[in-house]
Amino acid sequence: MDEEKIIEFINNNIKIKNKDVILGPGDDTAVLKYDATNYLLLTTDSVVENVHFKRDHATLYQIGKKAMAVNLSDISAMGGTPLYALVSVGFPDGTKNIVAPLLRGMEKMSSLYNFDIVGGNISKAPVLFIDVTMAGIVEKKYLKLRSGACVGDNIYVTGKLGGTILKKHLNIVPRIKESRILIKRVNVTSMMDISDGLSTDLTRLAKASKTGFRLWLDKVPTSADAIKMSSSKKEAIAHALNDGEDYELLFTVPSSCKKDVPAKIGNTIVTCVGVITEERKFEGVYQDEVVKIEPSGFSHF
Protein backbone atom coordinates (compact mmCIF):
# COMPACT_ATOMS: atom_id res chain seq x y z
CA MET A 1 0.00 0.00 0.00
CA ASP A 2 1.13 3.57 -0.65
CA GLU A 3 1.08 6.21 2.08
CA GLU A 4 -2.46 7.41 1.37
CA LYS A 5 -3.82 3.86 1.42
CA ILE A 6 -2.07 3.12 4.71
CA ILE A 7 -3.50 6.28 6.30
CA GLU A 8 -6.96 5.51 4.94
CA PHE A 9 -6.80 1.96 6.32
CA ILE A 10 -5.73 3.18 9.77
CA ASN A 11 -8.40 5.90 9.88
CA ASN A 12 -11.09 3.42 8.89
CA ASN A 13 -10.07 0.93 11.55
CA ILE A 14 -9.58 3.18 14.58
CA LYS A 15 -12.71 3.46 16.71
CA ILE A 16 -12.88 6.45 19.06
CA LYS A 17 -14.63 5.57 22.31
CA ASN A 18 -13.95 8.57 24.55
CA LYS A 19 -16.44 11.42 24.17
CA ASP A 20 -13.73 13.93 25.08
CA VAL A 21 -12.17 13.34 21.64
CA ILE A 22 -13.50 16.09 19.38
CA LEU A 23 -11.42 15.02 16.38
CA GLY A 24 -9.30 11.90 15.94
CA PRO A 25 -7.14 10.92 12.95
CA GLY A 26 -7.48 12.82 9.69
CA ASP A 27 -6.26 16.36 10.31
CA ASP A 28 -2.96 17.95 11.31
CA THR A 29 -3.60 17.24 15.00
CA ALA A 30 -6.08 15.44 17.19
CA VAL A 31 -8.47 17.74 19.06
CA LEU A 32 -9.63 17.01 22.61
CA LYS A 33 -11.79 18.73 25.21
CA TYR A 34 -9.77 20.93 27.55
CA ASP A 35 -11.78 23.66 29.28
CA ALA A 36 -14.71 25.99 28.64
CA THR A 37 -12.75 28.18 26.24
CA ASN A 38 -10.03 26.00 24.69
CA TYR A 39 -9.32 22.72 22.97
CA LEU A 40 -6.21 20.61 23.53
CA LEU A 41 -4.21 19.74 20.40
CA LEU A 42 -2.06 16.60 20.14
CA THR A 43 0.31 15.72 17.32
CA THR A 44 3.30 13.48 16.71
CA ASP A 45 5.94 13.35 13.99
CA SER A 46 9.33 11.78 13.40
CA VAL A 47 12.51 12.64 11.55
CA VAL A 48 14.58 9.63 10.50
CA GLU A 49 18.13 9.49 9.19
CA ASN A 50 18.35 8.85 5.43
CA VAL A 51 14.63 9.62 5.06
CA HIS A 52 14.26 13.19 6.39
CA PHE A 53 17.92 14.13 6.68
CA LYS A 54 21.42 12.86 5.91
CA ARG A 55 24.07 13.16 8.58
CA ASP A 56 26.72 14.37 6.12
CA HIS A 57 24.43 17.20 4.93
CA ALA A 58 23.04 18.39 8.27
CA THR A 59 24.38 19.36 11.67
CA LEU A 60 22.95 17.69 14.75
CA TYR A 61 21.78 21.12 15.90
CA GLN A 62 19.77 21.49 12.67
CA ILE A 63 18.33 17.99 13.06
CA GLY A 64 17.17 18.78 16.60
CA LYS A 65 15.51 21.99 15.41
CA LYS A 66 13.80 20.21 12.52
CA ALA A 67 12.35 17.51 14.78
CA MET A 68 10.56 20.20 16.77
CA ALA A 69 9.69 22.41 13.80
CA VAL A 70 7.66 19.78 11.93
CA ASN A 71 5.46 19.29 14.99
CA LEU A 72 5.13 23.02 15.62
CA SER A 73 3.93 23.35 12.02
CA ASP A 74 1.07 20.93 12.77
CA ILE A 75 0.04 23.03 15.77
CA SER A 76 0.12 26.19 13.64
CA ALA A 77 -2.07 24.53 11.01
CA MET A 78 -4.89 24.19 13.57
CA GLY A 79 -4.56 27.81 14.71
CA GLY A 80 -2.92 26.83 18.00
CA THR A 81 0.10 27.55 20.16
CA PRO A 82 2.40 24.88 21.66
CA LEU A 83 2.52 23.88 25.33
CA TYR A 84 4.62 20.73 25.86
CA ALA A 85 6.70 18.15 24.01
CA LEU A 86 7.80 14.59 24.70
CA VAL A 87 10.84 13.37 22.78
CA SER A 88 11.97 9.82 21.96
CA VAL A 89 15.39 9.40 20.36
CA GLY A 90 16.96 6.34 18.76
CA PHE A 91 20.76 6.54 18.92
CA PRO A 92 23.09 4.56 16.68
CA ASP A 93 26.49 3.44 17.96
CA GLY A 94 28.80 6.22 19.08
CA THR A 95 26.42 8.59 20.87
CA LYS A 96 29.11 10.54 22.72
CA ASN A 97 29.05 13.58 20.45
CA ILE A 98 25.38 13.37 19.42
CA VAL A 99 23.38 14.22 22.53
CA ALA A 100 24.53 17.76 23.34
CA PRO A 101 24.14 19.44 19.90
CA LEU A 102 20.88 17.59 19.24
CA LEU A 103 19.47 18.83 22.54
CA ARG A 104 20.66 22.38 21.85
CA GLY A 105 18.65 22.40 18.63
CA MET A 106 15.51 21.18 20.37
CA GLU A 107 15.97 23.62 23.25
CA LYS A 108 16.41 26.49 20.77
CA MET A 109 12.93 25.82 19.36
CA SER A 110 11.56 25.44 22.89
CA SER A 111 12.88 28.89 23.71
CA LEU A 112 11.72 30.53 20.47
CA TYR A 113 8.18 29.12 20.61
CA ASN A 114 7.66 29.09 24.38
CA PHE A 115 6.98 25.43 25.15
CA ASP A 116 8.59 22.93 27.51
CA ILE A 117 10.22 19.58 26.81
CA VAL A 118 8.75 17.53 29.66
CA GLY A 119 10.08 14.01 29.11
CA GLY A 120 10.69 11.23 26.64
CA ASN A 121 12.62 8.05 25.97
CA ILE A 122 15.93 6.87 24.52
CA SER A 123 16.82 3.67 22.70
CA LYS A 124 19.56 2.16 20.61
CA ALA A 125 18.66 2.13 16.92
CA PRO A 126 20.31 1.29 13.58
CA VAL A 127 20.01 4.96 12.49
CA LEU A 128 19.38 8.23 14.28
CA PHE A 129 15.71 9.13 14.68
CA ILE A 130 13.80 11.67 16.77
CA ASP A 131 10.10 11.18 17.46
CA VAL A 132 8.24 14.09 19.06
CA THR A 133 4.77 14.19 20.59
CA MET A 134 3.55 17.74 21.08
CA ALA A 135 0.59 19.22 22.94
CA GLY A 136 -0.84 22.62 22.14
CA ILE A 137 -3.90 24.70 22.81
CA VAL A 138 -6.36 26.68 20.70
CA GLU A 139 -9.42 28.73 21.54
CA LYS A 140 -12.56 26.94 20.41
CA LYS A 141 -13.62 29.88 18.25
CA TYR A 142 -10.29 29.84 16.38
CA LEU A 143 -9.89 26.12 15.69
CA LYS A 144 -9.23 25.54 11.98
CA LEU A 145 -9.67 22.24 10.14
CA ARG A 146 -8.75 21.16 6.64
CA SER A 147 -12.38 20.17 5.99
CA GLY A 148 -13.99 23.63 6.03
CA ALA A 149 -13.32 24.95 2.52
CA CYS A 150 -16.42 26.15 0.65
CA VAL A 151 -17.15 26.52 -3.05
CA GLY A 152 -15.91 29.90 -4.27
CA ASP A 153 -13.31 30.31 -1.53
CA ASN A 154 -9.95 31.66 -2.61
CA ILE A 155 -6.87 29.51 -1.89
CA TYR A 156 -3.81 31.08 -0.26
CA VAL A 157 -0.31 30.04 0.76
CA THR A 158 2.28 31.72 2.93
CA GLY A 159 5.90 32.06 1.86
CA LYS A 160 7.55 30.64 -1.24
CA LEU A 161 7.50 26.99 -2.23
CA GLY A 162 9.88 24.39 -3.64
CA GLY A 163 13.59 23.74 -3.66
CA THR A 164 13.58 22.84 0.02
CA ILE A 165 16.21 20.12 -0.37
CA LEU A 166 18.91 22.76 -0.88
CA LYS A 167 18.55 24.32 2.60
CA LYS A 168 15.02 25.15 3.75
CA HIS A 169 14.17 21.68 5.07
CA LEU A 170 16.89 22.17 7.70
CA ASN A 171 15.81 25.72 8.54
CA ILE A 172 12.03 25.42 8.90
CA VAL A 173 10.23 28.44 10.36
CA PRO A 174 6.92 27.18 11.79
CA ARG A 175 4.16 29.66 10.98
CA ILE A 176 2.76 29.96 14.50
CA LYS A 177 2.77 33.77 14.44
CA GLU A 178 1.32 33.99 10.94
CA SER A 179 -1.42 31.48 11.76
CA ARG A 180 -2.49 33.37 14.88
CA ILE A 181 -2.62 36.69 13.03
CA LEU A 182 -4.61 35.22 10.16
CA ILE A 183 -7.26 33.47 12.24
CA LYS A 184 -7.87 36.58 14.34
CA ARG A 185 -8.11 38.99 11.41
CA VAL A 186 -9.51 36.93 8.55
CA ASN A 187 -12.45 34.57 8.04
CA VAL A 188 -10.29 31.50 7.40
CA THR A 189 -12.56 28.58 6.43
CA SER A 190 -9.92 25.82 6.28
CA MET A 191 -6.23 25.48 6.94
CA MET A 192 -3.39 22.95 6.96
CA ASP A 193 0.37 23.00 6.57
CA ILE A 194 2.21 22.11 3.38
CA SER A 195 4.41 19.21 4.45
CA ASP A 196 4.28 16.89 1.42
CA GLY A 197 3.96 19.44 -1.38
CA LEU A 198 1.17 21.76 -2.54
CA SER A 199 -0.15 19.27 -5.11
CA THR A 200 -0.60 16.56 -2.45
CA ASP A 201 -1.76 18.70 0.45
CA LEU A 202 -4.24 20.82 -1.51
CA THR A 203 -5.72 17.58 -2.85
CA ARG A 204 -6.08 16.38 0.76
CA LEU A 205 -7.76 19.65 1.77
CA ALA A 206 -10.18 19.49 -1.16
CA LYS A 207 -11.07 15.86 -0.49
CA ALA A 208 -11.64 16.59 3.21
CA SER A 209 -13.89 19.51 2.22
CA LYS A 210 -15.65 17.47 -0.50
CA THR A 211 -14.74 20.00 -3.18
CA GLY A 212 -12.41 20.46 -6.12
CA PHE A 213 -9.94 23.24 -6.89
CA ARG A 214 -8.42 25.23 -9.71
CA LEU A 215 -4.87 26.48 -9.23
CA TRP A 216 -3.47 29.48 -11.09
CA LEU A 217 -0.07 27.93 -11.66
CA ASP A 218 1.68 31.12 -12.73
CA LYS A 219 0.67 32.65 -9.37
CA VAL A 220 2.26 29.89 -7.25
CA PRO A 221 5.15 31.59 -5.40
CA THR A 222 8.37 29.76 -6.26
CA SER A 223 11.44 30.02 -4.05
CA ALA A 224 14.84 31.16 -5.27
CA ASP A 225 16.11 27.62 -4.71
CA ALA A 226 13.31 26.15 -6.85
CA ILE A 227 14.28 28.56 -9.61
CA LYS A 228 17.98 27.70 -9.16
CA MET A 229 17.17 24.01 -9.62
CA SER A 230 15.16 24.63 -12.80
CA SER A 231 15.82 25.37 -16.45
CA SER A 232 12.39 26.96 -17.02
CA LYS A 233 9.54 28.65 -15.17
CA LYS A 234 7.40 25.57 -15.75
CA GLU A 235 9.99 23.34 -14.07
CA ALA A 236 10.27 25.77 -11.13
CA ILE A 237 6.49 25.61 -10.68
CA ALA A 238 6.69 21.80 -10.68
CA HIS A 239 9.21 22.02 -7.82
CA ALA A 240 6.89 24.39 -5.96
CA LEU A 241 4.00 21.94 -6.38
CA ASN A 242 5.78 18.71 -5.57
CA ASP A 243 9.02 19.05 -3.58
CA GLY A 244 7.45 18.94 -0.11
CA GLU A 245 8.85 20.01 3.27
CA ASP A 246 7.84 23.64 2.73
CA TYR A 247 5.98 23.81 6.05
CA GLU A 248 4.05 26.86 4.91
CA LEU A 249 0.35 27.45 5.59
CA LEU A 250 -2.30 26.53 3.04
CA PHE A 251 -5.69 28.12 3.75
CA THR A 252 -8.95 29.24 2.21
CA VAL A 253 -10.98 32.44 2.59
CA PRO A 254 -14.36 33.46 1.11
CA SER A 255 -13.87 35.64 -1.95
CA SER A 256 -15.96 38.35 -0.27
CA CYS A 257 -13.25 38.61 2.43
CA LYS A 258 -10.19 38.75 0.17
CA LYS A 259 -9.60 42.41 1.07
CA ASP A 260 -8.95 41.30 4.66
CA VAL A 261 -6.05 39.02 3.72
CA PRO A 262 -2.71 40.80 4.20
CA ALA A 263 -0.17 40.71 1.38
CA LYS A 264 2.56 40.18 3.97
CA ILE A 265 2.81 39.23 7.63
CA GLY A 266 6.15 40.55 8.78
CA ASN A 267 8.55 39.29 6.12
CA THR A 268 6.28 36.42 5.06
CA ILE A 269 4.36 36.94 1.82
CA VAL A 270 0.77 35.70 1.45
CA THR A 271 -0.35 34.74 -2.07
CA CYS A 272 -3.70 33.86 -3.59
CA VAL A 273 -3.07 30.84 -5.84
CA GLY A 274 -6.51 29.54 -6.82
CA VAL A 275 -10.14 28.90 -6.05
CA ILE A 276 -12.21 26.10 -4.54
CA THR A 277 -14.68 24.59 -7.04
CA GLU A 278 -17.91 22.65 -6.73
CA GLU A 279 -16.92 20.08 -9.34
CA ARG A 280 -14.52 17.64 -7.68
CA LYS A 281 -11.73 18.07 -10.18
CA PHE A 282 -8.17 18.99 -9.29
CA GLU A 283 -6.99 21.34 -12.00
CA GLY A 284 -4.34 23.92 -12.74
CA VAL A 285 -4.26 26.67 -15.35
CA TYR A 286 -0.99 27.65 -17.00
CA GLN A 287 -0.97 30.10 -19.92
CA ASP A 288 -4.62 29.28 -20.73
CA GLU A 289 -3.92 25.55 -20.69
CA VAL A 290 -5.94 23.52 -18.17
CA VAL A 291 -4.00 20.58 -16.71
CA LYS A 292 -4.90 17.89 -14.20
CA ILE A 293 -3.11 18.26 -10.87
CA GLU A 294 -1.89 14.93 -9.55
CA PRO A 295 -0.87 14.56 -5.87
CA SER A 296 2.82 14.17 -6.73
CA GLY A 297 4.50 15.43 -3.57
CA PHE A 298 6.57 13.50 -1.06
CA SER A 299 5.44 10.01 -0.07
CA HIS A 300 7.19 7.64 2.34
CA PHE A 301 6.31 4.55 0.28
pLDDT confidence of residue 1: 62
Q: 75 and 187: one domain? A: no
- Last residue of a domain, which of 94, 120, 141? 141
Is residue 1 included in any domain, yes or no? no
Q: 154 and 225: one domain? A: yes
The SS3 of residue 215 is strand
Give the residue among 184, 166, 301 at the shortest CA–CA distance from 246.
166
What is the Rg, in whole angstroms, of the alpha carbon atoms belonging to the chain?
A: 19
Q: 193 and 219: one domain? A: yes
Q: Is the pLDDT of residue 301 over 50?
A: no
Is residue 300 included in any domain, yes or no? no
| CA 10 to chain CA centroid, nearest Å | 20
Domain residue limits at 73: 10-141
Tens digit of each residue's pLDDT (9 = 90 or more) over 162-217? 999 999 999 999 999 999 999 999 999 999 999 999 999 999 999 999 999 999 99
pLDDT confidence of residue 104: 97
Q: 73 and 54: one domain? A: yes
Q: 109 and 230: one domain? A: no
The count of domains in the chain is 2
Tens digit of each residue's pLDDT (9 = 90 or more) over 20-57? 999 999 899 999 999 999 999 999 999 999 999 999 89
Q: 127 and 185: one domain? A: no
Average pLDDT for residues 221-238, to the nearest whole number?
96
Is residue 225 included in any domain, yes or no? yes
Q: 180 and 123: one domain? A: no
Average pLDDT for residues 132-160, to the nearest whole number?
98
As to burial, measured by CB atoms within 10 angstroms (0-12 exposed, 13-18 middle, 19+ buried), residue 197 is: buried
Is residue 301 included in any domain, yes or no? no
**CA distances (Å), origin 205, targets 79, 223, 230:** 16, 23, 28
Q: What are phi and psi of 181, to 5 degrees?
A: -65, -45
Q: 128 and 168: one domain? A: no
Q: Is the pTM for the entire model greater than 0.85?
A: yes
pLDDT confidence of residue 14: 84
Angle, helices 233-242 vs 198-209, to 10°: value is 50
Q: Distance between CA atoms of 269 and 221, rounded to whole angstroms?
A: 9
Q: 135 and 240: one domain? A: no
DSSP class of residue 142? G
Tens digit of each residue's pLDDT (9 = 90 or more) over 239-291? 999 999 999 999 999 999 999 999 999 999 999 999 999 999 999 999 889 99
- Last residue of a domain, which of 96, 119, 141? 141
- Last residue of a domain, which of 109, 141, 173? 141
Is residue 49 included in any domain, yes or no? yes
The mean pLDDT of the chain is 95
Q: 101 and 149: one domain? A: no
Q: Is the pLDDT of residue 94 over 80?
A: no
Is residue 4 included in any domain, yes or no? no
Q: 170 and 64: one domain? A: no
Q: CATH number of the domain that 24 lies in? A: 3.30.1330.10
Q: CATH number of the domain that 157 lies in? A: 3.90.650.10
Q: 94 and 162: one domain? A: no
Is residue 191 included in any domain, yes or no? yes
Is residue 2 included in any domain, yes or no? no
